[in-house]
Each structure stands twice: as C-alpha cells, then as structure tokens.
Chain A
Amino acid sequence: MSYSYVPLTPLDLALAASLLIANVAISWVFRLKLERSLAIGAVRMVVQLALVGVVLKLVFAQTSPIWTALIGLVMVVAAAVEVTTRQHRRIAGWQVFGFSSATLLFIGMMITGLGVGVIIGPEPWYAPRYLLPILGMVLGNTMTAVSLVLDTFTETAHRERGAIEAQLSLGAHRYQASRNVLHVALRTGMMPILNSMATTGIVALPGMMTGQILAGADPIEAAKYQVLIMFLIASATALGSFFAGLAGVLLLTDSRHRLRLDRIAAQS
C-alpha cells in the first residue's frame, strides 16, 4: 500500500482555528458566556492531540514492548477514572475504580490481543502502530458501555427499590431480585454499538475509515479494517456490559442478599 496525503502546515491549522469565530460570535450575541469554556476546550484539544502525536511518534519509532505496554496502561487508567467520575449516583469507595481498571485491562488485553495479535498479525505482534489505536477504540467503547451500565443500574435500582425489596422479602436471591434492573442496564449498555453497527456508513464514515481513506488507503481495505474494528468493539462492549452488570449487583447488594442503596454516595 502506498500512502499519499497532503500534509497540513501550521497556517492551515490557524485557518481552521479561525472558524471558531462563529462559536464566539454566537456566544456573544446570546450572552451565553461560553467564551472561557470555548477557549479552554480548544487549547486543551490542541495541546492533548499535539502531545499524543509526539508521544506516539516516539513510541512508534522505538517499537519497544515496554513503552507500548506503558502507554496502554496509561490509557486503561484514564478510562477507569472516566468511568468512576461519570456516574450520576456514585457508589462510595474505591471499588468502582478498582473494578473498572481490572475490567478495562482484561477486555483491552483480550480483545486487542485477539484483533491485533491473532487476526491482523503485524510484525512484531505488539507493533504499537497497530496495537495502540485499536486498544484506544476498544477501551473508549468499553468505557462508555461500562459507565452506561453502572449508571443505569444504580439509577434503576434506586427507582425500583420497592420492587427489589419486595422480591427479597419473599425469599428471592439477589440475582433474582435484580433481574429486571440488570435487564434494563444491559440493554442500555449494548444499545450504542447495536445502533452504530446498523447505521454505520450511511450517514457518516467511521473515524478510522475516514482516516485511512484520507491517508490514501484503498477504500475497500479501509472498509475491511472498519468491519474488523466493529466486531472487536461489539464483543468488547458486550463483555464490558456483562461485567458492569455483575459489579452492579455485587456492589449494591451484600452477602446477606440485602439491597444496599446506602452505599451510593451523595448525589453528584
């Protein structure tokens, strides 16, 4: 494959940045006071992406398994922090962070390992140019699924407290009593990937495929990669939803099969 693309100059980026004038103008006219958030957001985006670009360039040049693993680990921790802080009703303590780190690490390693190591099979198998972007996509989607499931679980358990406890009073085990809640939470976790599988390519091309096409790849090859990624993401979100549902039951009930909504910290 020969890659050919038009490189961007700093001037090109400055020109693109000037488009933000539209955002500033709207904020001014309607007195939305969004200028500050807009400036911070834009600067953060530029700095973060520039840093990622530099770091990845270094890591790709090394092709070192240790550096690749380290970057992967940083991604896992960042995703776990995101899951922990995104909860509307947070479960008190460190368990959610611990659980999401472990789950994301496990799923990230398994699914990315399968996708890159077994299916794509680059040389060497840990080639960061393949491994890290795919790990990123797997983690990003798993993170969304895990936080959706946990959030829906706590929210639904809170709302359905009476129904759960009615079943517990009648002698149900905690898994039986949480079945309806689990059902709602798991569906919510799987919905995004089901929707995006069904509609992908019709309205917008997925980001990765767009990138490959812009970089000069054959659209058919790009589509094949996208299909592979979609399947990886689908299985990762399914696993993530399952573990998150299990964690929801274990964190919000105890070994005496009691509902423990008291473990939810004050609403954030």
Chain B
Amino acid sequence: MLRVEHLQIGELPPLTFEVADGECLAVEGPSGVGKTRLLRAIADLEPAHGQVFLDGAERNEMPGPEWRRHVRYCAAEPAWWTETARSAFASAARVERVLHSLGLTPDVLDRPIAVLSTGERQRLALARALIDEPKVLLLDEPTTALDAQAAALVEELIKFQLLSGRSAILVSHDASQIERLAHARLLLPKTQSSIAPGDRAA
C-alpha cells in the first residue's frame, strides 16, 4: 500500500491519500496544476516536502534508487539513452511476453529507437517500466500516442498488473479510460479555495 502524507506540490494544499494494493487512483485536474509533478515527487525524482510510505516504510529509509525500483514513474514522453531498446531490458524471456501483450513484436528491440513510431516508443517505455515488477506504477498519460486498439491493449496490461496486486496512480485526460481503470479519483483544485483533495481519496 502506498500512503502519501502532507506532500507539498507547488501552490497546491498539502496532499494526503492512500492507494491500496491492486487499486488504481486517477489524478485529475486542469493542465499545469501539478499532476506530473505529483507523480515525479512520489517517485522521489524531485524534492518535495511531505512523506511517502510504501508498505509502512518511508522513502527516506531507503536509498533513492531502491525506492524507484518499487515506485516506478513512467513519463508521458519517454526518453531513451541508447541506440536500440534492447539494453534497457535485462531478461530476454519475459520481455517477449510483455511486448506481445502490448501488440509489439520482439524486433522493435533491435531497431534504432529514432525510427520507431511514437506509439511504439510509448509502449516500449511501458514494457520497460513493468519488466522488473515494481509495486507501484505512476503512469503519466500512458496512452496519448496510441490508437484505440493499442490503447485497449495497454489498458488490459494495466488491469492485469492491478489484478496481480500492484497499484497504480494514473494521470489521464481520457475520462472514459479513468472510468474503466480507476477505483478512486483525486481532483487537484485550480486554487487553494477548493476542499482538501485528500478528503476525496479512497
């Protein structure tokens, strides 16, 4: 279970909420309100006041890299640092299965990343994020670059992850996608005048 306590993101009031194992929390709110920053702060990619617990352990009790092994941020526009995607995946056996479930063939691993389509890159990034089985997935617009068919495959894979006991926080502009995946919603207010968002959490 992921628990966020008094997390301070920009101008927003401190956020407190929980995401249980197997649950998906959707984060909604107007553009620029801090949805991406919230995900990045939970993954400890940028400093923010407040505490985040995973199964009772506060993130500062473990080194940053170990925390991010369990709490995995998946960016809206994934970046790569090698010519091909192959080196981002350690175990070859599991990769093919995950790629297959995302509608990709294993040859995408050896094609130059520069020539892959945006949708292929986004699905590869999702595969890269799931492959070592983190406990919490922080998904920032996971299907923006995808056609309906590919998006459906991605949603199936996310559902499968949830059924296996992992939890997810989803940022999405697709209301029907939130309807299909999320168990709870967190609405980030435009200003501080709104009700405390923590109260809306599951």
Contact = CB atoms under 8 A, between A and B. Distances in A.
B44 A258 contact: yes
A24 to B, nearest CB: 51
A258 B47 contact: yes
A166 B45 contact: no
A165 interface: yes
Contact of A170 (B44, B60, B66, B72): B72
Given A258-B45, A258-B47, A171 B80 contact: no
B64 A169 contact: no
Given A258-B44, A258-B46, A169 B63 contact: no
A167 interface: yes
Contacts of A257: 63-65, 68
Interface string B126-151: 00110010000000000000000000
Contacts of A169: 43, 45, 68, 72-75, 129
B81 A166 contact: yes
Contacts, number: 66
Nearest to B81: A163
Interface band, chain B: 20 to 34
Interface string B181-202: 0000000000000000000000
Interface string A241-260: 00000000000001111111
Contacts of B75: 162, 165-166, 169
B173 interface: no
Given A162-B77, A166-B78, A170-B128, 5 more contacts: A163-B79, A166-B79, A167-B81, A168-B68, A255-B64
Interface of A: 160-173, 180, 254-260, 262
Interface of B: 43-47, 60, 63-66, 68-69, 72-75, 77-81, 88, 125, 128-129, 132
28 contacts: A161-B79, A162-B75, A162-B77, A165-B75, A165-B79, A166-B75, A166-B78, A167-B81, A169-B45, A169-B72, A169-B74, A169-B75, A170-B68, A170-B88, A170-B132, A171-B65, A171-B69, A180-B81, A256-B44, A256-B47, A256-B60, A256-B63, A256-B64, A257-B64, A257-B65, A258-B45, A258-B47, A260-B47
